Structure 1
Amino acid sequence: MPIRTLFVFCATIILSSACFAETIIKSHALTKYGTPKYPKDFTRFEYTSENAVKGGEVRISEFGSYDSLNYFIQKGVAERNCTLMYDSLMVSSADEPNTMYGLIAESIEYPKSKQWIIFNLNPKAKFSDGKAVTAEDIKFTFETLIEHGDPVYKMYFADVGKVEILSPHRIKFDITNPENKDLLNALAGLPAFPKHFWKGKEFAKSGLSIPMGSSAYKIERFDAGRSITYVRDKNYWAKDLNVNNGMYNFDKIYVEYYRDQDVDFEAFKAGSYDYLYEATSKTWATGYDIEPVHKGKIKRLEYEDEMAQGVSGIFFNLRKPMLKNRTLRQAMSLAFDFEWTKKNIFYGSYSRTNSFYENTKYAAQGTPSKEELALLSPFRDQLPPAVFGPAYRATETDGSGNNRKQLREAKKILDEAGYNIINGKLIDPASNKPVEMEIIIRQAGLEKVLNPWIANLKKIGIIVKLRIMDLAQWSNLLEVYDYDIVWLGFRGVDIPSNEQALLWGSENADVEGGANYMGIKNPAIDSIIKKLIAATNDEERIAAARALDRILTHSHYIVPLYHSKTNRLAFWDKFSYPEKRTTYDFRHEIGFYTWWYDEEKAKKLKQTK
């Protein structure tokens, strides 16, 4: 038999392992480590309730505005909830880390090496117009995201090779980089776009055209930038599927947009909307001393947040020549008085963030382990010496508001680096120009946190101006990296993987619309990210993540700010919810969609209003 013929023959029967000894895994779930919590025949997730009923409506709010109904493109500001219209191939469980179960794809097949994955689509899967979801649609979705979607997708799926339709309900993705073992989970999160709907339409310029989805909700109507209404599709194909059992119970979801946080909160107190995730510590501490709370009409829940906290902070743009200097960034970080801010602005409710992987086992601890040193040592001459010492801890003040000690330290390291103060202004030794810059924010309430920091910076000769802008303008500047400093936050990830390359990788630093907002180009970071993505077990991943954390923190790319150790929810008493809460759930969003409208409570509330 000719070699070429033999190769083709073996390739066609590889799934039976006749020509290749590697084990083929066939499963209803996809997990990075261990075994899935839920068996193939599970009926519901434990964080849902068998008492949940369909019906009623809920009103929620969002901050800012929107000018697009397409979440997947770079252009415009997408409506915050429009992903409700899309089912994905698989969905994440909210009570176990990084495990996904079948939705559009009822099962998967992949080798232990994870060099490819096959998704077997559920023949019952349909779009909202009743037409079947096929492998052709999934291939169209993938290609559309790569060619016309946000640039992040092209970067994220760079290691996907051939995409092959094996049958109308069976599709295979080849992985060109066998070390990118997390890519399977990313592919499992693909949505489904109807190819027939998008024929003759420009995906990248869809704007406010209502797209077609395949999920529990579709758009009923909207007022651009102000409000939108989602209605539950009573013909939804997967309403009785195990992953949806007890989920998506509201018949209608009304979303109102507010451009001012104070107006937003007043609207909630007046009953204009029903449910609020309270993100402001002052409001939680002082804003609920009102009659509806006292009389039990508004309920409040507060509980420990077990999720990865991610990082929020003041991000420096290293594309700006002055900010390339680590010493300057370190000095600016020393000027932030967190303890005073916590006591006087946050009502003691926030904790200082000291890691890019806060509240996880991946946060750097103590001094580097031998495994971490093996990753860091080849770059010793390129890294700050602090990387090889104790894990980063932000400087602490006495909370008095007089942080002279930290400012003296900042001035000392600036003097040693060749900076001078002339006429009250710090002079950059490289350009011989005053150190002056601007920080942009999109939320007016943040200036009370930033103004004391700006005042401290002025004491050491650094001039920072604060600029508040609307969401659209702020987003446009972010896309092209046209800023000096910006206040940003990243949601935490329970298991860091591919997304780290998007956030800190050199090859993404100059891609417009990307997520490397600091413009980091660091060979050590690039090398360790590759090791992180290629990790075959959690021990390897922990070592890589902690080594990466040490570089990110000790390089002072940001002034790390704070995080909350609790979730705070307020709602009008017209809902019921499961006894068990979700664990891995950003902003309680998945948990919220396990709630249901309680007619008895709503009736009682209406009578007492």
Structure 2
Amino acid sequence: MLCGLVAFCLPVLTGRDRALAAESYAIAMHGAPALPATFTHMPYANPDAPKGGRLVQGILGTFDSLNPLIVRGLAVQQMRGFVVESLMERGNDEPFTLYGLLARTVETDDARSYVTFRLDPRARFSDGQPVTADDVLFSWALLRDKGRPNHRQYYSKVAKAEALDPLTVRFDFGGVGDRELPLILGLMPVLPRRAVDPATFEETSMTTPIGSGPYRVTHVNPGVSVTLTRNPDYWGRDLPVNRGLWNFNEIRLDFYREANGYFEAFKRGLYDFRVESEPLRWHDGYAFPAVRSGEVIRDTIKTGMPQPSEFLVFNTRRPVFSDIRVRQALTLLFDFEWINRNYFFGLYGRSASFFAGSELSAYGRPTDEQELAFLKPFAARIPPNILDGSYRLPVTDGSGRDRANLRAALNLLSQAGYELDGAVLRQRDSKTPLTFEILVTTRDQERIALAFSRDLKRAGIVATVRAVDAVQFDQRRLGFDFDMIQNRWDQSLSPGNEQFFYWGREAADSPGTRNYMGAKDPAIDAMIADMLAARDRGVFVSAVRALDRVLMSGFYAIPVFNVREQWIARWNRIERPQATALTGYLPETWWYRPPQSK
């Protein structure tokens, strides 16, 4: 009986209940799905892509777990999608639309007070057993109680859940007013109840997971590599969402502990593609013979998404960063112009927005009437220049010794209770010097931190730079054990519940979340709630911009740069469709090109 698993059981839907909504093949956050019910494949996939060959993907880092659904350990993230599927699949050409995968249909009402999923009767796990409503309910309860903080947060909003029949599940939300929840549930990974022990689920494990996805784990070399083999009996290979995807017979994930060795391995052809993140390397590091001969292809892709943005993050849990005037002063002392010219060939832009380069960004835009309505209870705390859109990040003369910004920063620091004592900036009362540590893990992060440290020294501030490996960096970041780190939050065109995970008050005290700065502002939570309640795309955009203004007003992080393009290098044995998704590159749409006979 399922009632022991869920909060409590619901009655079977009556005919009147079902009349309130119709089953659908897809669901969009706002508006209607872009593709009709008769679509045959995703527009960014090649339905005629050949099957076969092997893709070797290089990954910088290591792993000690095959379970990406828990906090502990460093997991192989590719288990999601490749091995473990969700009820529905994203349409990567739309802000936030889901199409049927394990769930053949979805049903909700206008208020989105519930959602019902009807499973595809063909759906099977890799061991041949059917995917049932019982597995869905088990997965929901397991992740709600023992999963990652974001899953616990999302799934705990479900007030009631029940299997209406062996293939149908309904979730009720109890009037929480979160219109994204039907889609959040649609993205829930589904695990087989019979193969998962809840008592040990939260422990790191190299146990091969059983999923319903297109691949199975066939070999694991702990910390070094994982091999995935395409399941010839994959139940969903002919679904429209999958046509032209999952084309390689084998995918091997090779892990590298050191960045330079990682790149050298690519040059030798030891893995098939890399996403380049260093402008210096992209600018002059790809002059090796395979590039000149055309064996290695470089793709520059412009996406329709908010530009990935790097920030130097203040951990406001630390007393040294508790005063906003200190954070404002340090923002003034960061010399982007010098760093961009000397390190990055001017390839980067810079914005204070957390949704840079998109319609969701509030940077440089005045508030509209809807934004003002959202912000009214908190408007007195938001600087007028952020409200009217005139705020701009400080610009230096690019010399590395900008005097005007230095004077302005010292004035703010004086207001915060600091004064220069010779060459050292100290608190007036305690005489404690202003000093902190910048934790880094890559060469680029270290160069930026060292340049920033040099600029801070001119103000009497001592910032030490500590370089650690990727494993230690992740452990310290997840545990909020740092003063300052460089971080990036990837955003979509339909931000939702994950924003609580990034900036919400509850997340600030929950290790494993991404509220690295420790923000605890009721205005942030209020703007996220307004965003989730929006029914119209225009109202939604205004709510996100209002959130953006609140985040900018807190000076929680120093904007470092915005990445305007995706830089992908691949060996020409790997081919990709001509069409690119709104979200950018998608390796699951690529295929293997056999060597040409001579």
TM-score interval (norm. to shorter): over 0.9
Structure 1 residue 9, shift from structure 2 partner: 9.0
Which amino acid in the other structure matches residue 113 of structure 1?
Answer: A
Partner of 1:176: 174
Structure 1 residue 320, shift from structure 2 partner: 1.1
> What is the rounded CA distance, in whole Å, between the counterparts of 2:430 and 2:112 in structure 1?
51
Partner of 1:249: 247
Structure 1 residue 431, shift from structure 2 partner: 5.3
- Structure 1: state its 5+ residue gaps: 1-7, 18-22
Structure 1 residue 53, shift from structure 2 partner: 0.9
Check whether the contact 1:94–1:584 (CA below 8 A) recurs between aligned residues.
Answer: yes
Check whether the contact 2:325–2:415 (CA below 8 A) recurs between aligned residues.
Answer: no
> What is the rounded CA distance, in whole Å, between the counterparts of 1:290 and 1:366 in structure 2?
44
Q: Deviations over 1:359-407 (max 9, x none)?
A: 2211114332232222223224444454434254211122233322211
> Number of aligned pairs?
587
More divergent stretch after superposition (162-171 vs 532-541): 532-541
More divergent stretch after superposition (347-356 vs 429-438): 429-438
Check whether the contact 1:55–1:251 (CA below 8 A) recurs between aligned residues.
Answer: yes
Partner of 2:161: 163
> What is the rounded CA distance, in whole Å, between the counterparts of 1:319 and 1:25 in structure 2?
48
> What is the rounded CA distance, in whole Å, between the counterparts of 1:396 and 1:75 in structure 2?
42
Structure 1 residue 178, shift from structure 2 partner: 4.1
Partner residue of 2:79 out of 72, 82, 85 = 82
Partner of 1:47: 44
Structure 1 residue 315, shift from structure 2 partner: 0.7
- Helix, strand or coil for the counterpart of 1:80? coil
Q: Deviations over 1:305-335 (max 9, x none)?
A: 3222243201111111221111100111111
Which amino acid in the other structure matches residue 570 of structure 1?
Answer: A
- Helix, strand or coil for the counterpart of 2:547? helix
Q: Deviations over 1:136-164 (max 9, x none)?
A: 00001111111111122111223211111
Partner residue of 2:99 out of 101, 112, 116 = 101
Partner of 1:12: 14
Structure 1 residue 354, shift from structure 2 partner: 2.3
- Helix, strand or coil for the counterpart of 1:147? helix
Check whether the contact 2:367–2:389 (CA below 8 A) recurs between aligned residues.
Answer: yes
Report whether the alignment pairs 1:258 with 2:256. yes
Partner residue of 2:210 out of 196, 206, 212 = 212
Structure 1 residue 460, shift from structure 2 partner: 0.6
Structure 1 residue 112, shift from structure 2 partner: 0.8
Which amino acid in the other structure matches residue 496 of structure 1?
Answer: P
- Helix, strand or coil for the counterpart of 1:254? strand
> What is the rounded CA distance, in whole Å, between the counterparts of 2:507 and 2:295 in structure 1?
49
Partner of 1:576: 575
> What is the rounded CA distance, in whole Å, between the counterparts of 2:126 and 2:457 in structure 1?
58
Partner of 2:409: 410
Partner of 2:62: 65
Structure 1 residue 43, shift from structure 2 partner: 1.1
- Helix, strand or coil for the counterpart of 2:589? coil
Q: Classify 1:414/1:213 alpha carbon distance in 2 versus 1 (closer, same or farther; 3 Å).
A: same
Partner of 2:4: none
Partner of 2:201: 203
Partner of 2:127: 129
> What is the rounded CA distance, in whole Å, between the counterparts of 1:239 and 1:368 in structure 2?
47
- Helix, strand or coil for the counterpart of 2:377? helix
Partner of 1:598: 593
Q: Classify 1:493/1:542 alpha carbon distance in 2 versus 1 (closer, same or farther; 3 Å).
A: same
- Helix, strand or coil for the counterpart of 2:338? helix
Structure 1 residue 167, shift from structure 2 partner: 0.7
> What is the rounded CA distance, in whole Å, between the counterparts of 1:292 and 1:449 in structure 2?
31
Q: Classify 1:16/1:143 alpha carbon distance in 2 versus 1 (closer, same or farther; 3 Å).
A: closer
- Helix, strand or coil for the counterpart of 1:203? coil
> What is the rounded CA distance, in whole Å, between the counterparts of 1:434 and 1:578 in structure 2?
57
More divergent stretch after superposition (253-262 vs 470-479): 470-479
Partner residue of 1:272 out of 267, 270, 273 = 270
More divergent stretch after superposition (478-487 vs 384-393): 384-393
Q: Classify 1:575/1:472 alpha carbon distance in 2 versus 1 (closer, same or farther; 3 Å).
A: closer
> What is the rounded CA distance, in whole Å, between the counterparts of 2:379 and 2:294 in structure 1?
60
Matches within 5 A, 1:94-493: 94-199=92-197, 202-364=200-362, 365-428=364-427, 432-493=431-492
Report whether the alignment pairs 1:34 with 2:31. yes
> What is the rounded CA distance, in whole Å, between the counterparts of 1:320 and 1:154 in structure 2?
27
Partner of 2:498: 499
Q: Deviations over 1:431-486 (max 9, x none)?
A: 54211111212224421111111111111121111111223322222233221111
Cα-Cα RMSD: 1.9
Report whether the alignment pairs 1:512 with 2:519. no
> What is the rounded CA distance, in whole Å, between the counterparts of 1:410 and 1:79 in structure 2?
43
- Helix, strand or coil for the counterpart of 1:560? strand
Which amino acid in the other structure matches residue 355 of structure 1?
Answer: S
Check whether the contact 2:46–2:589 (CA below 8 A) recurs between aligned residues.
Answer: yes
Partner of 1:24: 21
Q: Classify 1:24/1:291 alpha carbon distance in 2 versus 1 (closer, same or farther; 3 Å).
A: same
Matches within 5 A, 1:510-549: 510-549=509-548
Structure 1 residue 576, shift from structure 2 partner: 2.5
Which amino acid in the other structure matches residue 315 of structure 2?
Answer: N
Structure 1 residue 270, shift from structure 2 partner: 0.9
Partner of 2:3: none
Q: Deviating runs (4+, > 6 A) in structure 1? A: none
Identity %: 33
> What is the rounded CA distance, in whole Å, between the counterparts of 2:34 and 2:169 in structure 1?
26
> What is the rounded CA distance, in whole Å, between the counterparts of 1:183 and 1:9 in structure 2?
21
Q: Classify 1:281/1:9 alpha carbon distance in 2 versus 1 (closer, same or farther; 3 Å).
A: closer
> What is the rounded CA distance, in whole Å, between the counterparts of 1:562 and 1:225 in structure 2?
32
Check whether the contact 1:311–1:492 (CA below 8 A) recurs between aligned residues.
Answer: no
- Helix, strand or coil for the counterpart of 1:231? strand
Q: Deviations over 1:552-607 (max 9, x none)?
A: 1132100011122122111111123222111124xx2xx221111111xx245xx7
> What is the rounded CA distance, in whole Å, between the counterparts of 2:547 and 2:198 in structure 1?
45
Structure 1 residue 246, shift from structure 2 partner: 0.4
More divergent stretch after superposition (166-175 vs 79-88): 79-88
> What is the rounded CA distance, in whole Å, between the counterparts of 1:400 and 1:205 in structure 2?
51
Which amino acid in the other structure matches residue 15 of structure 2?
Answer: I
Q: Classify 1:323/1:386 alpha carbon distance in 2 versus 1 (closer, same or farther; 3 Å).
A: farther
Check whether the contact 2:108–2:182 (CA below 8 A) recurs between aligned residues.
Answer: no
Structure 1 residue 497, shift from structure 2 partner: 1.8
Structure 1 residue 48, shift from structure 2 partner: 1.0
Check whether the contact 2:278–2:444 (CA below 8 A) recurs between aligned residues.
Answer: no
Q: TM-score, normalised by structure 1?
A: 0.93
> What is the rounded CA distance, in whole Å, between the counterparts of 2:427 and 2:126 in structure 1?
59
Q: Classify 1:392/1:499 alpha carbon distance in 2 versus 1 (closer, same or farther; 3 Å).
A: farther
> What is the rounded CA distance, in whole Å, between the counterparts of 1:233 and 1:73 in structure 2?
25
Structure 1 residue 203, shift from structure 2 partner: 1.0
Which amino acid in the other structure matches residue 322 of structure 1?
Answer: V
